[in-house]
Amino acid sequence: MGKPSPALVNSATDRARHRIDLITSRALRITLDAEMPKRHAAGECRHCFYIGDGRICGQAFTEWTCTMCETPQEAWPNTGTPQLCLSCATRYGLCRNCLADDGLRSRRRINIVRHKPRKRFPASPLASEGQKP
């Protein structure tokens, strides 16, 4: 293998310049977050909305269930299903894909309210008479 030709060097330089321009434009889009209303409507964090092309998935309609409310969702068009339904993502301020906080803030806990019926115990017969059990 001999010296690289000027054409090879120029081609590699163009590819490197293109990759740098792409990274710079993505960083600017993430920083400005000009499409915030559209991003919130999609229930995604800045990373998933602006860069989210790194997910690998198969092309098959996939049944999935929200991890928060445990409600079965409509079939997703590929195997890269979200973690949360749009309702839970909005309610808890989380990204529906990667579960990151929408504002990229650290949290100590997540206030999760499961809407499952509580067990109702019958009232004590003594309580109705005003006596202590």
Strand partners, 65: 72
Question: Would you place residue 22 in the very low, low, confident or very high pLDDT band (cuts 50, 70, 90)?
Answer: very high
For residue 115, the model assigns a pLDDT of 44
Write out pLDDT tens, residues 23-78: 999 899 999 999 999 999 999 999 888 887 666 677 778 888 898 888 888 888 77
What 113-120 contacts at long range (C-beta under 8 Å, 24+ apart), as own/partner pairs, is: 114/69, 115/69
Question: Would you place residue 118 in the very low, low, confident or very high pLDDT band (cuts 50, 70, 90)?
Answer: very low
Q: Report the pLDDT averaged over residues 91-116.
A: 77
Per-residue DSSP letters for 80-117?
A: ---SS-HHHHHHHTB-TTT--BTT----S--------P
pTM beyond 0.85: no
